Amino acid sequence: MLPGMGADETILRVRGLKKTFKTGFLGRSGFQALAGVDLEVGRGQVFGLLGPNGAGKTTMIKILLDLVRDYEGQAEIFGLPPSHALSRRKVGYLPEAHRMPTYLTGWQVMMLFGMLAGKPRKDIEKRAAALLDRVGMLRDSKRKVREYSKGMQQRLGLAQALVHDPQLILLDEPTDGVDPVGRKVIRDMVTEAKQAGCTIFINSHLLNEVELVCDRVVILNKGLILSQGSIEDLTPNADATMFDLAREVPDMEQLLAGIGTGYRAMGRGFELVVDDAGLDATIDRLRSSGHTIRGISRRRRTLEESFINLVEDSSGGGQA
């Protein structure tokens, strides 16, 4: 913990964050990657950054890592600008397309990144062994990185992001190329880091993975925040009701006009998001139209469905 910081401290804060990339002849044209973003991430939170390609996610991460400096607005990590050495030492980062020296062994990679972070060699050795064992790479740690599969490199990448015991961990597509067993290991490590008081900021296209580990998420598109909050906040219409009918009805959506939302045909039935009154109205309308209901069930709507609805309802693209 940095001096003066409490357990409830905001770890990451951006205010009015804007970034425009100049393009064309003499930079006379350009596109706005971020168009005024505000968000806060508290200590011990697992925060998901979601958005389609070109939403501005990568630009935001690069600003937080001090890799992009020419921007408008405010960005702070531990109450300090991203360029401050004290804040940078407390950040661990796993890039989406990370490149580790392929001529080094996994163990040498851990030692290299730990020493670059200014940690004593003895401390690095102890932590490196524990982390490599945790990600299932200790046995292969004497092999060259060039011999690793993509999944093995990803697990090594996660271990190196944690080797200097950071307080904020930025993970860009952490489960990319990892098999189901490896994904569970990564999810468990994220949970363990949170329990140890770390803050984790995840950018991922695998929304089912995000839904399993994140406390809060923000959905970004065209440089703007479409929505942010807990998983429950972003899935207010969580229960979708599925109706199974005796026969397929081609004009069902028209028949149910004005009732519920999110209609979707499903073989001989359909799915609709309705409250209790809407459920009664749907049943009444089906029966009065001569349709036989064979069954009714409910399922919880996913974060992915809410994400798709929000993005499709928003206007066109941008670039990251």
Q: Per-residue pLDDT averaged across 42-57, rounded?
A: 91
- What CA–CA distance (Å, rounded) separates 199 from 42? 7
Residue 298 burial by Cβ neighbours in a 10 Å radius (0-12, 13-18, 19+): middle
Instruction: Please report the pLDDT score of residue 101 as a whole number.
Output: 93
Name the CATH code of domain 239-300 (choices 3.40.50, 3.30.1560, 1.10.3470, 3.30.70). Answer: 3.30.70
Q: Residue range 167-178: average pLDDT?
A: 90
Q: Which residue has the higher pLDDT, 80 or 238?
A: 80
The closest alpha carbon to 169, from 154, 155, 190, belongs to: 190
Average pLDDT, integer, range 168-195: 90
The three-class DSSP label of residue 163 is coil
Q: Provide the token pair at 261.
A: 């939302």
- C-alpha count within 13 angstroms, C-beta hemisphere, residue 123: 11
pLDDT exceeds cutoff 50 at 150? yes
Residue percentage of the chain with pLDDT more than 70: 93
pTM (2 d.p.): 0.77
- The answer to whether residues 285 and 256 touch, using CB atoms and an 8 Å cutoff, is yes
Residue ranges per structural domain of the chain: 10-230, 239-300
Residue at token pair 């060699």: 121
**What pLDDT does residue 26 have?**
66
Q: How confident is the model at residue 1 (pLDDT cuts 50, 70, 90)?
A: very low
Average pLDDT of the segment spanning 36-49: 94
CB 143 within 8 A of CB 158: no
* Contact present, 88 and 164 (Cβ < 8 Å): no
Residue of 224 and 6 predicted with greater confidence: 224
State how far the Cα of 154 lies from the Cα of 97, in Å rounded to an integer: 9
CATH superfamily for domain 10-230 = P-loop containing nucleotide triphosphate hydrolases (3.40.50.300)
291's CB contacts (< 8 A; 6+ apart) are 245, 246, 247, 249
- Whole-number Å distance between alpha carbons of 304 and 106: 35
The CA angle 48-50-52, to the nearest 5 degrees, is 165
Q: Which residue in the block uniquely carries the two structure tokens 């009701």?
A: 241
Checking if the pLDDT of 42 tops 60, the result is yes
User: Which one is predicted more confidently, 11 or 8?
Assistant: 11
Helix-then-strand count for the chain, H and E: 11, 13
Q: Quick one: DSSP state of residue 173? A: S
Mean pLDDT along residues 308-316:
72
Tens-digit pLDDT profile for residues 250-263: 888 888 888 877 78
Angle at 157 between CA 93 and CA 177, to 5 degrees: 110
Q: How much is the mean pLDDT over the chain?
A: 87
pLDDT category, 2, cuts 50, 70, 90?
low
d(CA 70, CA 21): 9
pLDDT digits over 70-119, tens only?
Answer: 999 999 999 999 999 888 889 999 998 888 999 999 999 999 999 998 89
Residue 64 confidence (pLDDT) above 50: yes
Query: What pLDDT shows up at residue 4?
Result: 47
Mean pLDDT of 298-313: 78
Q: Is the confidence at residue 23, as pLDDT, over 90?
A: no
Of 29 and 161, more confident: 161
Q: Higher pLDDT residue, 318 or 182?
A: 182
Q: Is the pLDDT of residue 7 over 80?
A: no
Q: Which two tokens stand for residue 209?
A: 């993975």
**In this model, does residue 236 exceed pLDDT 70?**
no
Beta strands in the chain (DSSP E): 10-23, 29-42, 46-50, 72-77, 91-94, 168-172, 199-203, 216-221, 224-230, 239-245, 261-266, 269-273, 293-300
